[in-house]
A and B are shown apart, each in its own frame.
Chain A
């Protein structure tokens, strides 16, 4: 059943080879990703039904032997966290298609491959399959940015690919370490829990955590993110910041923390400091940027840093907040990037110093941007507030000095976030129209509106009904039984 989520983008990709015709390509891609969203919802419903009947950690599981001599299986299954990630990916991927309306066939071929990787990753239970899909998701980025990007695109594409692959080199060493030191006869995550000897956890945990952390924008390995996101085309930024960076956080939790909780307890202070730096440094970095995409990219470093920060707090409340933050950040950053795409396609600049008064010119896009901004700075009623609130409550549960201090420091990022969001909003949306040419610009087109409305709806849904999402997450955490 779950494999459908991989097959749909794969078949969409193959179907694209039939013709280069723009109409055909659009139809196929919208149909493909629409079907993917439907399938994701079906998976979610099936999961909820199965959840009511079972307390197994992973549901809807399937297992096929792939390479018998090495105990490699194609094993898939989901828990509440992966279901939410799948829904997030489906929403962002579909809205990304609308934001890439005028792109050519080849672009969507790689876009579909990216989706194959992302969905395969979230449904995988076997470490080998998981790693395979992880790399499948990374490599199309090189061409997506390199061919269709803007600015220093070759540099950014190369930097992003090499840094992420560097991370996956650490990761693969860690995965092999997990398999061979555990003495297990399976690479299935659910079978590996509690089998890794403590002595080995000390070196495997950092490898795996940093390996995934590179994608989760762990300081000091975040530097690919601003360049990459700024150079990428709109929908790729959306998918990358919205979904791909979540692969990092998800992996840190699913592999590093849940397989090696003992080492996580011992070593979390090092990484807490690093993620604390990510959170604050990202926020301050965003304040001084003048390029809209750079602002948002640094803001992503800050928000994704907060995800890792919360994961490392190692308790149910903070972890619930972390997953919510992943959802919230995924949706709102996708919204940001799609709106930046709208502005950029019309004004041909992303420099906030050259924009002004866009609210009068493009009211729809501007209002959406304000909403995204409010979600980002944590206005109650939108998703950001719930997520950050839960994280900080969870962090505060620890009574030791280091975590208290770090929590306070991380909290200050909210204020800094408000500074750069309000500054940007004020600069580009209000005030006089700086460039007279901007008065002629048109507002968002229907496909751009679809993209924005869907994302805002999801942000509001999480904001006003956090208990629904929170319940799914905390129940999964209970069944995993690691905290």
Chain B
């Protein structure tokens, strides 16, 4: 047997090594004093993995085109790495609580397992490989969602997630069977040559897309998201709303570009409609929310709509804009979730009312939250402004001015509900049971500093955009 194919996948092997090491650590050191070192070690290893990911990886295919590696996939993996690292930093405080400490290691191990699945999704060159990656990436997330299994909401979230995942995988598989039936192959490169606008192919594509739509939580496949986001532990919610979503978007982008490029005329309008629907519905539902995690569930649904906007025209500028958007979204959303995690750990509350007067009691957290929310709303000079601008520019380049206008008017709607958070933190007087002043966990502080720097720097310094553009061209 030829093992040289493994040389093509250093990042997967590295991640696998970390995964195995941490698993062994967790089993061997369970309930000993050595567990104190688990968190620093896990984070240090993940940092190494992330930094390593930025070095040029070998390019080409392996295992008979099952696995593809290119600068683009390395870039996508690096973005996922950063997100995972930040989530790990934020999760620590919550994992250290007495009721969780016995299961602390599990969280990191499971998270890394899903990350490995996402690597495979991104690097797949064959639909079976992609499907495998999606399954590895999503099934363990159900464990994470149900982590607090004795809390009703958490168990509910886990159950909902696993059912929805199973359903969407089934739908996707069904679509793939049609595609295979129509073209007789599962390889991206062969399908790209064979794809044609035949009813069976189109039907297969629609089913496949619906399956992926669940993962990205596009409307009308979004209904699971708010409940799961609200019920799952905050670290899991952050992971779901950023890393998991990003991986699904990357897979979608790659499939659309590498396989269904010839059908662009057809999927353009499908995406157009779904994107408008996703933005509008996400926005309208976000307005009424009182729970901040649920609020961010709807907000991230509408953000997914904006992401689709960049995919719409299949141009390379659009691809760069999409990746860049995800990159900025990662920092913005994770900054928000870092604050939510900090407040929740302190007070056990996740309703928006508990943020009243936060600026008085915890000015730094309030400022981070403000930057995050303004970045999500697309306010300059924060990263979100630039990423939205590039997405809109990509759409406008394709001549879709009407869509740009609709999307922009929706950003005003989104600004309304984002400003509600700002208003609660800065303007409203704190209630009787307001969150008191507290010190944030040092690891979480690091993550917040990282995210804040990302929000402030990624837009103003054009190097990041150019770096991503190099990989996508």
Question: Which residues on A are within 8 Å of B, measured CB to CB?
Answer: 66-70, 128, 132-133, 135-136, 139, 142-143, 146-147, 153-154, 157-158, 161-162, 165-166, 169-170, 172-173, 176-177, 179-180, 203, 207
B423–A154 touching, CB < 8 Å: yes
Minimum CB–CB distance for A367 against chain B, Å:
37
Minimum CB–CB distance for B182 against chain A, Å:
37
Over the window 357-386 of chain B, the binary record of Cβ atoms lying under 8 Å from chain A Cβ atoms (1 yes, 0 no) is 000000000000000001000011100010
B415–A70 touching, CB < 8 Å: no
* A-B CB contact pairs (8 Å), 10 listed: A67-B462, A69-B317, A142-B419, A154-B423, A158-B416, A162-B415, A166-B409, A172-B392, A179-B393, A180-B393
B466–A169 touching, CB < 8 Å: no
Interface 9-residue window, one of B85-93, B258-266, B346-354, B396-404: B396-404
Given contacts A128-B389, A169-B408, contact A68 B466 (CB under 8 A): yes
Residues of A with C-beta under 8 A to B427: 143, 146-147, 153-154, 157
A165 to B414, CA, bound (A): 11
Residues of A with C-beta under 8 A to B380: 132-133, 135-136
A69 to B465, CA, bound (A): 9
Chain A CB within 8 A of B173 CB: no
Minimum CB–CB distance for B404 against chain A, Å:
5
Residues of B with C-beta under 8 A to A162: 412, 415-416, 419
A135–B393 touching, CB < 8 Å: no
Over the window 401-440 of chain B, the binary record of Cβ atoms lying under 8 Å from chain A Cβ atoms (1 yes, 0 no) is 1001100110110011001001100110000000000000
Residues of B with C-beta under 8 A to A146: 423, 426-427
A161–B396 touching, CB < 8 Å: no
B379–A69 touching, CB < 8 Å: no
A135–B385 touching, CB < 8 Å: yes
Residues of B with C-beta under 8 A to A69: 317, 320, 465-466, 469
A169–B405 touching, CB < 8 Å: yes
Which of B423, B426, B427, B469 has the most chain A CB atoms closer than 10 A to its own CB?
A: B427
A165 to B410, CA, bound (A): 11
Chain A CB within 8 A of B239 CB: no
A142 to B408, CA, bound (A): 19
Given A66-B462, A172-B389, 14 further pairs, Cβ under 8 A: A67-B466, A69-B465, A70-B317, A136-B381, A146-B426, A147-B427, A158-B419, A166-B412, A169-B411, A176-B396, A177-B396, A180-B399, A203-B401, A207-B405
B317–A143 touching, CB < 8 Å: no
A249 to B18, CA, bound (A): 60
Question: Which residues on B are within 8 Å of A, measured CB to CB?
Answer: 317, 320, 374, 379-381, 385, 389-390, 392-393, 396-397, 399, 401, 404-405, 408-409, 411-412, 415-416, 419, 422-423, 426-427, 462, 465-466, 469
Residues of A with C-beta under 8 A to B462: 66-68
B401 interface neighbour in A157, A169, A176, Cβ under 8 Å:
A176
A176 to B396, CA, bound (A): 6
B404 interface neighbour in A67, A132, A154, A173, Cβ under 8 Å:
A173
Residues of B with C-beta under 8 A to A157: 427
A177–B415 touching, CB < 8 Å: no
Residues of A with C-beta under 8 A to B415: 161-162, 165
B419–A70 touching, CB < 8 Å: no
B393–A176 touching, CB < 8 Å: yes
Residues of B with C-beta under 8 A to A203: 401
A136 to B419, CA, bound (A): 15
Residues of B with C-beta under 8 A to A139: 374, 379
Given contacts A166-B412, A169-B408, contact A70 B401 (CB under 8 A): no
B426–A176 touching, CB < 8 Å: no
Q: Nearest CB to that of A200 among chain B residues?
A: B401
Residues of A with C-beta under 8 A to B465: 67, 69
Given contacts A69-B317, A135-B385, A176-B401, contact A169 B419 (CB under 8 A): no
Minimum CB–CB distance for B385 against chain A, Å:
7
A318 to B423, CA, bound (A): 43
Q: How many A-B residue pairs have CB under 8 A?
A: 85
* Main SS class of interface, B: helix
A36 to B397, CA, bound (A): 39
Minimum CB–CB distance for B180 against chain A, Å:
38
A165 interface neighbour in B320, B412, B422, Cβ under 8 Å:
B412
Given contacts A136-B381, A176-B393, contact A147 B408 (CB under 8 A): no
Residues of A with C-beta under 8 A to B416: 158, 162
A135–B408 touching, CB < 8 Å: no
Q: Nearest CB to that of B394 among chain A residues?
A: A70
Minimum CB–CB distance for A370 against chain B, Å:
37
A152 to B156, CA, bound (A): 42
Given contacts A139-B374, A165-B415, contact A176 B404 (CB under 8 A): yes
Which of A136, A169, A203 has the most chain B CB atoms closer than 10 A to its own CB?
A: A169
Residues of B with C-beta under 8 A to A172: 389, 392, 404, 408
A147–B426 touching, CB < 8 Å: yes
Given contacts A69-B317, A69-B469, A143-B422, contact A170 B405 (CB under 8 A): yes
Residues of A with C-beta under 8 A to B404: 172-173, 176
A132–B381 touching, CB < 8 Å: yes
A176–B419 touching, CB < 8 Å: no
A426 to B419, CA, bound (A): 42
Residues of A with C-beta under 8 A to B423: 146, 154, 158
A57 to B100, CA, bound (A): 68
Given contacts A166-B412, A169-B412, A173-B408, contact A142 B422 (CB under 8 A): yes
Q: Nearest CB to that of B411 among chain A residues?
A: A169
Which of A66, A146, A162, A173 has the most chain B CB atoms closer than 10 A to its own CB?
A: A173
B409–A169 touching, CB < 8 Å: yes
A166 to B410, CA, bound (A): 9
A161 to B416, CA, bound (A): 9
Minimum CB–CB distance for A149 against chain B, Å:
9
A267 to B300, CA, bound (A): 40
B401–A173 touching, CB < 8 Å: yes
Minimum CB–CB distance for B51 against chain A, Å:
26
Residues of B with C-beta under 8 A to A132: 380-381, 385
Residues of B with C-beta under 8 A to A207: 405
Minimum CB–CB distance for A260 against chain B, Å:
15
B405–A173 touching, CB < 8 Å: yes
**Top 10 A-B pairs, shortest CB-CB distance:** A169-B408, A176-B396, A132-B380, A146-B427, A173-B405, A165-B412, A67-B462, A135-B380, A166-B412, A139-B379
Residues of A with C-beta under 8 A to B320: 69
